[in-house]
Structure 1
Amino acid sequence: MTKTRSTNGTPAIRVLETAGIRFEVRAYDHDPAVRSFGTEAAAKLGVDPRRVFKTLLISVDDELVMAIIPVSAQLDLRALAAAIGGKKAVLAGVAEAERRTGYVVGGMSPFGQRRPVPAVLDNSALAFDRILISGGRRGLDVEVAPNDVVMLTDARLARVARGD
């Protein structure tokens, strides 16, 4: 389904619409007590967790990078650093991630960020025709083609997740 008018109004949705990307909005009732946002999305939407991706903000050699990986996996910090030619990677703090992206943790989309940063999409995304990724708020995902994620974020593809 291609959305032509946003009823959700997030910056992520507006970016998808402006770019003319084919996407489907997948909303669910977020439980505020849940802290495992991606796992909750997969369960409530009835989707394989390997097909639901989370967006993480990472500091690689003191430069911020966005890692987009399956919610069923953990980020391999060394692999991420190597994928962008860096040496040391650490997870950015919550306050810094929220300030930099304009999104709250659990609703952080790779699209429409306040100040975009370089992105790396785990290459496992290519195993699927469509993946789900945050639409810019908790309880809102968008289903898109992995190649559209690459195009919109100018992401590099690399194996940066483990355990999925």
Structure 2
Amino acid sequence: MSIESVKAHLKQWNREKDVMEFDASSATVQQAADTIGVIPARIAKTLSFKGEDGTAMLIVAAGDAKIDNKKFRQQFGFKAKMLSPEEVLEQTGHAVGGVCPFGLKNEIDVYLDQSMKRFQTLFPACGSSNSAIELTVDEIYEYSNAKGWIDVCKGWEEEECNEKEAVKSRLS
């Protein structure tokens, strides 16, 4: 069971008991945000891509970020191609809706997108479509054995500007 592999992985840091399991689905960013009670941007979504050599690679990004194909190509030197749901399960051991960079079935390169750095904590899934854990960006980096921080997403900068403007207008 996928959530069990995540809990076993998190046990290294004594965090397995911090995994939250919900009665409601948290399979999509919006469902997870509604279930947890946070803005969608604070959901750390894990996207699965085919690497140039055909192996899988994961990119963890903020819930409001979208892959920017031009930035992806500049970063990796090839076109972004997502894995099919079957390939995701085969490579990660997690079904779509519960994919996370922890407790993976295979050794997979994990990258973290800059879009997450604006938050102190985020909520990645934990291997099932009704689980999550609250982690700092440093914990996500450490627990996922990430290869590094990258900038391959778009859309979140505009959201960040809108949030700042909303705060400013409330304060004035």
- Where on the TM-score scale, by shorter chain, does this alignment land: which range? 0.7 to 0.9
State the 1:22 CA deviation: 8.7
Instruction: Name the count of aligned residue pairs.
Output: 153
1:88/1:143 CA distance change after superposition, 3 Å: same
State the 1:116 CA deviation: 2.5
Letter in 1 for 2:57: V
Q: TM-score, normalised by structure 1?
A: 0.82
Partner of 2:102: 111
Q: Structure 2: give runs of 5+ residues left out of the alignment.
A: 157-172
Is 1:49 matched with 2:24? no
Partner of 2:155: 163
On the 8 A contact 2:47/2:59 being kept in 1, the answer is yes
Letter in 1 for 2:5: P
Distance (whole Å) between structure 2 residues aligned to residue 128 and residue 23 of structure 1 = 23
Distance (whole Å) between structure 2 residues aligned to residue 28 and residue 135 of structure 1 = 11
State the 1:73 CA deviation: 2.2
Is 1:27 matched with 2:30? no
Decide which of 2, 12, 18 is 1:18's aligned counterpart: 12
Q: Greater helix percent: which structure?
A: 2
On the 8 A contact 2:56/2:91 being kept in 1, the answer is no
Letter in 2 for 1:103: H
Aligned identity (percent) is 23
State the 1:136 CA deviation: 1.1
State the 1:57 CA deviation: 0.9
Decide which of 59, 63, 68 is 2:50's aligned counterpart: 59
Greater C-alpha Rg:
2
Letter in 1 for 2:91: R
1:148/1:23 CA distance change after superposition, 3 Å: farther
On the 8 A contact 1:23/1:142 being kept in 2, the answer is no
3-state SS in 2 of match to 1:135: coil
3-state SS in 2 of match to 1:107: coil
Q: Structure 1: give runs of 5+ residues left out of the alignment.
A: 1-7
Distance (whole Å) between structure 2 residues aligned to residue 134 and residue 81 of structure 1 = 27
On the 8 A contact 1:10/1:137 being kept in 2, the answer is no
Q: Greater strand percent: which structure?
A: 1
State the 1:153 CA deviation: 2.2
